[in-house]
């Protein structure tokens, strides 16, 4: 499928959130404010750490983002779970981009490590998800490792991110 796009701007991501990008009943991204990136800068079915495909995205950090005032008052940081959710969101997007049918759901992750925080002084977050395997059966399952960089420094790492696409009604966290 050489004609597939390899990058997506914010309007494309909003179209995905509405269900317009991959079609009704297929992978969708959450709408803002739960959409945790502003653009997908690169996506490929080959390459990445395991040479099974990858996706890269960016999120512009602004001090007035919704989560800073409440997490934590006087010590604002982006909740780590939002960075992890972004990796699940990207994993589900990748499966939809491959043309796989079904609604997405985050299923699990292996190990998550945090060694830094996203604060209002950070300008840009970068995400990377490197695929280990895509299984195609009754459930399409993507298995990948992901990372988050804050202003170029890797501060999150997640292994064995698992997202499934099901043709049945989703029962987990939608992606």
Give per-10-residue mean pLDDT for the chain (175 aa): 86 98 96 98 98 98 97 96 98 98 97 98 98 95 98 98 84 54
Catalytic choice (39, 52, 71, 132): 71
Grouping H, G, I as helix, E, B as strand and the rest as coil, residue 9 is: coil
In angstroms, how far apart are the furthest CA atoms of the chain?
Answer: 50
Question: Nearest Cα to 37, choosing from 103, 95, 69, 82?
Answer: 82
Backbone Cα Rg of the chain: 15
Grouping H, G, I as helix, E, B as strand and the rest as coil, residue 26 is: coil
Q: How many helices (H) and strands (E) does the chain have?
A: 2, 8
62 is known as an active-site residue: no
Judge if pTM exceeds 0.75: yes
User: Within 10 A of 3 (CB to CB), how many other CB atoms are there?
Assistant: 4
Question: Nearest Cα to 147, choosing from 83, 65, 75, 52?
Answer: 83
- Position 172 scores a pLDDT of 53
Give pairs for 63-66: CB < 8 Å, separation 24+.
63/120, 65/33, 65/120, 66/33
Which residue do the tokens 């040479």 mark? Answer: 51
Give the model confidence (pLDDT) of 90-119 as tens digits.
Answer: 999 999 999 999 999 999 999 999 999 999
Grouping H, G, I as helix, E, B as strand and the rest as coil, residue 130 is: strand
What is the Cα–Cα distance from 133 to 149, expressed in whole angstroms?
23
- Position 169 scores a pLDDT of 56
Residues 6+ apart with CB under 8 A from 160: 108, 109, 110, 111, 132, 143, 144, 145
What is the Cα–Cα distance from 55 to 61, expressed in whole angstroms?
20
């Amino acid at each position: 499928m050489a004609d597939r796009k390899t990058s997506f701007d914010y309007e494309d991501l909003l179209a995905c959130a509405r269900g317009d990008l991959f079609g009704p009943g297929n992978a969708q991204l959450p709408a803002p404010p739960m959409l945790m990136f502003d653009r997908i800068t690169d996506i490929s079915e080959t390459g990445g750490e395991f040479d099974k495909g990858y996706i890269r995205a960016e999120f512009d950090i602004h001090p007035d983002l919704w989560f800073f005032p409440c997490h934590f008052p006087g010590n604002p940081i982006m909740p780590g779970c939002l960075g992890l959710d972004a990796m699940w969101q990207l994993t589900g997007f990748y499966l939809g981009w491959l043309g796989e049918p079904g609604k997405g759901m985050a299923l699990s992750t292996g190990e998550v490590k945090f060694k830094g925080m996203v604060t209002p002084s950070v300008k840009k977050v970068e995400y990377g998800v490197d695929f280990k395997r895509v299984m195609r059966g009754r459930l399409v399952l993507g298995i990948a490792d992901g990372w988050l960089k804050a202003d170029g420094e890797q501060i999150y790492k997640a292994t064995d991110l698992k997202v499934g696409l099901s043709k049945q009604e989703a029962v987990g966290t939608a992606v």
